[in-house]
Amino acid sequence: MATQSSSGSTSSPSSSHRHHDIQDLINRFFVQLRQGCGVSTCSTSLCATARSRPSSPPLRSYTAVSARAMAVVLASSENALDRLCPNLPSHLPAILAAPQEKLDSKAIMQQLFNSESLRNIHSLEDTHTPRLVHERSLSGNSFLTVSCDDLVRLCDATCSLHLGSESDQHIITARNRTYTRLDSIFSDFTNLAQSFSDDPMNVRKDPETHRSATYSVRLHHALESVHALGEDASNIVFDSTWIALEPIFESPFDSRHKGPRTFQTISSDAKSSSVSDVVYRAIHTLTSFVPRAGWNTWYFAWSALIHGRAHGKQMDRRDSEYFSPCLPILDAFEQDTALRMAKRLVRAVGARTCLEETLSACSKGDAKPDPRLQVWQTNRRIRSSITDLLVQEEQNIRLASFKTIWRDELRHGGELVGTTSLIWLEWLRKCFLKEWDGSLRINRWSVAGSALELIEDLWNHKSQGQLDMPAKLFMTPAAFRILDVDKAAQDWLSYKSDVNSRHLLSFKFLFSTKRIIQLVRTSHHILMRRAYNEADATWHLRRRTMPEVNLQDVIYLDRRLRASQDHYLVLKINRHSILSDAFDQLWHREKRELLRPLRIRMGIDEGEIGHDLGGVQIEFFKLVCQEAFSPGYSFFTTDPQTRLSWFQPATLVPLYKYQLFGVLFALAIYNGITLPVSFPLVFYKKLLFQQFGETDLAEGWPSLNKSLQYLRTHQGSVEEDFARDYVYSFSANGLHLDVSMDDPWNGWSIWGKIKSGKGMTLGLMKVIRQYPDKHHPEFTSSRGENERAHARSDSEGLLEITNHLNSESQTRDVSQKAQEPDQSRFEWPGWKVMFVEPDEYSKPVTNENRHQYISSYAKWVLDWSIRPQFNAFAKGFYSVMNLRPLTLLNADQFRTLVEGHNHLDINALQRATTYSHYTETSPVICWFWEVVKAYPQEKQKQLLEFVTASSRVPVNGAESLTFVIERSDSDTNALPGSSTCFSTLRLPEYESKQILTAKLDIALEHSLGFGQA
């Protein structure tokens, strides 16, 4: 459509049809007020024809200026279409130039509406067919559907036209007709829902039926051809789609709505599918607008999009050649009409989700629900439908054999780039960053809240392996930069869930592991400050209320008020009884005491003098773990293959010791200490009350997992080839037991017990057979023996497993006959042992029950066999820890927080090192780092332990370590020393590199512990 200026020159098509819509609406009101519709029966009060009837009271006619002013006011009103005369023709009569009127020079409104720009508002191109807003909204019965191929042909034909001196007007007219048709397709909900379909005749009745593999590619290519027409076509499509999304906001039960009832015209079965189809097409309209690019270009684009800014540094010349092509990608995400439509789309999905949840809740709460609400219980939700379509599309790209070159362009290092899911993720991130006001509580139905929940859906499917999307692309550092970490952590501790809002920190994928752990530790510091301040307030209150008391009263009050007024949790530890001393001093401590800062006084009886500024705590927990994980203590058992530790099942260690060890474990995390432990990931899943299953066996029990998988996939007869009984077998306390696979705990959960404060229920172990364990007459590592006896690797095939089981059976029958039950030997903490008849509970493992057998066996290994010990540990753990901060972590992040990193980056440690009476360029320092860098990794970690009392690297890396090298005043023949209190290495000023090497090796080899070498 072209607009003609007063000089008669023809301009290019408008950048948006919205300008023409309002212009056409103003002209219609102008004609209505000045000339009327000409229909004698017209009853519109603002129409000149109705006003001119004799029955009407005499009214003053509008002048051109006053009619123009009134037309602008009416066109700007909310119910403008209701005031428009319905009898006006579709083609307006020519608006004649009015004679020059006398104007008041002091009237601002008359001068404004008589200006040249507003007089030219009546100048419309004659070749353009006016696009009437009210006609579009009232034409719900005329459908215009096209296929992807039709749209491509239409756009290709339009692109083939070139402006020339002879037929400019003809080409403009042809393009305007194309724009009008695009508007008709994209501005109507029904047209958009039924267009671009593999099933244009609606033959596929089942909405769950998958589309063909080429559908998404054809749709994307068709929409790319539209955007290839230029900015005008893109703006028309975005504005029209913005209008087509309006019905998604409508409630099907709103009787006040007078427009086309989309939810009534579409059948109930197809309703959900139609909405999801429209949203899916709108998503492709946005994603196809972003130019295609390779991995290197997307790398720089993601760097700017994720961080919300450009690199902020001078780039290398080689990098600039990749950054320049990414500028069109960044510009596409900032295009006004595209961003406006993206926000509208996200808000529509949020409104639809709100409607679905509201109606679903209504249908569940009523005794006799409205029959119209039943569809909301059966239909898929809009968000799940959208994500399912994206998952299906990506799976098609993975598996399809078509467009091989294009598919390979999307791959880099095994990851897809530039797919619909990834570009949709960037649009959602852009909507969130544009609309988020920085608040911590986010309305779920707003653009920002709905965008985050849509990103969360992509994250969940990515976590399940259904979407090939790198986790780093979900992170949004721009959101963390404007957060007040202390305020955010404090608000998270007091946050209560609400159906209409969510906390920003609940969207954990936005933040890196480093930032999440920073928030967790900040939460712990807040709780620690609260506990400290409460004790300090009590101490000052006592000083004010009882200023004058004798010494005996002071001692008495200090003893009675110790729990409430001590500022620190102080443990006095003897090196010869570390674990028992810790248990004795933690027994019956109140929770408010445990939440205060920890201070360790260790080795005082041995003559050690040190201040606990962190180093003593690190060494204390290192020694605690060494004693607790030693085989003689029978707390845990360590697998020789994986070096991972696990609870000792059915051990005779009292459960209260596991509870106290859980307290120690929590105190270390609460005070920011990295522990020298190695647990499988399932341990941290259980502590976070997350789901775990058979797949978790692979990390901690690889041989057992391999054998069970071999049993699962065996093609022959399981009963004949394996001859395995349907029992769980393990060794404990000098006995080898076969027990029933039934659940011994009746399904109760540890979290329910912790919240209610109730005691732990005894597990019912049904013993079928018992044999003496000749290899471990007193205590045994049940994991190691169990895997050796019943979970042999299948590396040598079925023959080895079968021979092993047969030999085991013969050994039992001949050499180790089953003993008579001795109930006194089964007084095990946490268990109630019952002997049952073998004929009742013993049955063979067959092809039919092997899957259930594997599932039950995994539950026994991971949960049921060690539940008394783990539950006691968890009870002690959560007597210190607040679960709310830990919910920010996933299991991997939790393990990193507890265990740190095993790899030491010596270059990062060098960058973090500070010097006292030395400089970086001192000869001794240069020699020192040359020697240390030549060490193997284990010896480098030994040096780290010598200085800091721990060989583990904290979660934030070696850069976060305190490592000081101080010049020692000792003789140059002395050995290097260390002070773990201050993480300081005392290094004499040696005369040569060879002497330094020899002295440092001796010090590391014969280091004695805290503060000594």
Segment 637-648, tens digit of pLDDT: 988 888 899 999
Structural domain contains residue 999:
yes
What are the tens digits of pLDDT across the range 885-904?
999 999 999 999 999 888 88
Domain final residue, candidates 868, 890, 910: 868
Question: Regarding predicted confidence, which is higher, 260 or 863?
Answer: 863
Rounded CA-CA distance 274/194 in Å is 8
Q: What is the pLDDT of residue 314?
A: 44
The letter for the amino acid at 104 is D
Residues in the chain: 1013
Give the mean pLDDT of 234-238: 91
Amino acid at 129: T
- Whether residue 186 contacts residue 227, with contact meaning beta carbons closer than 8 Å, is answered with no
User: What is the structure's pLDDT at 148?
Assistant: 85
Is it the case that residue 151 has pLDDT exceeding 70?
Answer: yes
DSSP letters spanning 766-825: EEEEEEE-SS-SS---HHHHHHHHH----TT-HHHHHHHHHHHHHHHHHTSPPPPP-GGG
Q: Which tokens go with 510?
A: 């936005």
Return the pLDDT at 968.
Answer: 86
**Do 276 and 404 belong to one domain?**
yes
Q: Are strands 728-732 and 636-638 parallel, antiparallel or unpaired?
A: unpaired
The domain in which residue 635 lies consists of 527-647+655-685
Last residue of a domain, one of 844, 868, 892: 868
pLDDT of residue 550: 67
At residue 798, the pLDDT reads 37
Residues 178 and 264 grouped into a single domain: yes
Q: Identify the domain boundary among 868, 888, 920.
A: 868
Relative orientation angle of helices 655-670 and 867-877, to the nearest 10 degrees: 40
- pLDDT of 406 reads 43
Note whether residue 696 is domain-resident. Answer: no
786 and 864 housed in the same domain: yes
Taking residues 716-743, report their average pLDDT.
86
Is residue 588 situated within a structural domain? yes
Tell me, yes or no, whether 165 lies in a domain: yes
Q: Provide long-range contacts, Cβ within 8 A and 24+ apart, for 181-185.
A: 181/144, 181/154, 182/226, 182/233, 182/236, 182/237, 182/240, 183/17, 183/131, 183/236, 183/240, 184/136, 184/144, 185/144, 185/145, 185/146, 185/151, 185/240
**Spatial distance between the Cα atoms of 896 and 646, rounded to a whole number of angstroms:** 17
- Predicted local confidence at residue 1007, as pLDDT: 67
Q: Same domain for 569 and 624?
A: yes
List pLDDT tens digits, range 648-657. 988 889 999 9
**pLDDT of 757 above 60:** no
User: What does the alpha-carbon distance between residue 240 and residue 223 come to, in Å, rounded to a whole number?
Assistant: 14
pTM of the entire structure? Answer: 0.75
- Higher-scoring residue by pLDDT: 326, 539: 539
- Residues 283 and 381 grouped into a single domain: yes
Number of other residues whose CB lies within 10 A of the CB of residue 420: 22
Whether residue 765 is predicted with pLDDT greater than 50 in this model: the reply is: yes
Residue type, 143: F
Whether 889 is covered by a domain: the verdict is: no
Q: Answer whether residue 313 shows pLDDT above 50.
A: no
**Do 858 and 763 belong to one domain?**
yes
pLDDT of 717 > 50? The answer is: yes
Contact 136, 24 (CB under 8 A): no
Q: DSSP states of 39-50 as a string?
A: -TT---TT-HHH
Quickly list DSSP for 60-73: PPPPHHHHHHHHHH
Residue 878 CA to residue 871 CA, distance in Å, equals 11
> Reading across the β-sheet that carries 831-835, which strands appear in turn?
728-732, 735-739, 763-772, 831-835
pLDDT (0 to 100) of residue 975: 87
Mean pLDDT of 835-853: 85
What's the whole-number mean pLDDT along residues 603-616? Answer: 61
What CA–CA distance (Å, rounded) separates 268 from 274? Answer: 10
DSSP 737: E
Chain centroid to Cα 578, Å, comes to: 41
Cα separation of 716 and 891, whole Å? 38
pLDDT class of 946 with cuts at 50, 70, 90: confident
| Stretch 846-858: mean pLDDT | 91
pLDDT at 842: 75
The 3-state DSSP class for residue 152 equals: helix
Which of 84-98, 100-114, 266-280, 761-775 is least confident? 100-114
Both 533 and 567 in a single domain? yes
- Quick check: 641 and 703 in contact, CB under 8 A? yes
Residue 337 maps to a domain: yes
pLDDT at 393: 81
The count of domains in the chain is: 5
Residue 535: alpha-carbon gap to chain centroid: 38
User: Domain holding 579: CATH number?
Assistant: 3.90.1750.10
pLDDT at position 431 over 90 = yes
Give Cβ neighbours of residue 861 (< 8 Å, ≥ 6 apart).
Answer: 697, 701, 704, 783, 786
Distance of CA 844 to the CA centre of its chain: 44
Report the range of poorest mean pLDDT among 172-186, 495-509, 633-647, 931-945.
172-186
pLDDT on residue 404: 43
Which tokens sit at 675? 């522990």
Residue 727 lies in a domain: yes
What pLDDT was estimated at residue 749?
Answer: 61
Q: Where does the pLDDT of residue 252 fall: very low under 50, low under 70, confident under 90, or very high at 90 and above?
A: low
CA–CA separation, 473 and 306 (whole Å): 7
Give the alpha-carbon dihedral of 32, 38, 39, 40, to 10 degrees: 110
Residue indicated by tokens 């404990």: 732
278 and 199, same domain (yes or no): yes
Are 343 and 435 contacting, i.e. CB atoms less than 8 angstroms apart? yes
Least confident residue range of 377-386, 617-626, 811-820: 811-820
**Count of beta carbons in the 10 Å neighbourhood of residue 485:** 14
pLDDT above 70 for 527: yes
Rounded Cα gap, residues 625 and 631, in angstroms? 12
Per-residue pLDDT at 222 exceeds 80:
yes
How far is residue 1013 from each of residues 601, 617, 965, measured CA to CA in Å?
20, 19, 15
Provide CB contacts within 8 A for 948, sequence distance 6+.
Answer: 615, 618, 961, 962, 963, 980, 983
Determine which helix (DSSP H) or strand (DSSP E) holds 268, and give its type and residue range.
helix 268-287
Residues 108 and 164 in one domain: no
- Bridge-based pairing of strands 728-732 and 645-647 is unpaired
Residue-wise DSSP of 15-47: S-HHHHHHHHHHHHHHHHHHT----TT---TT-
CB atoms within 10 A of CB 9: 9
Mean pLDDT (the chain) is 76
**Which pLDDT belongs to residue 665?**
96
Tokens 């459960």 -> residue: 655
- Domain shared by 161 and 117, yes or no: no
CA distance 494 to 741: 43
Give the pLDDT mean for 916-924. 89
Report the pLDDT value the prediction gives residue 405, as an integer from 0 to 100.
Answer: 43
User: Is there a domain that residue 8 lies in?
Assistant: no
Average pLDDT over residues 951-978: 82
Considering the domain architecture, whether residues 337 and 420 belong to the same structural domain is answered as yes
The question of whether 85 is a catalytic residue gets the answer no
Buried b (16+ CB within 10 A) or exposed e, 265-293: ebeeeebbbbbbbbbbbbbbbbbbbbbeb
**Do 856 and 906 have their domain in common?**
no
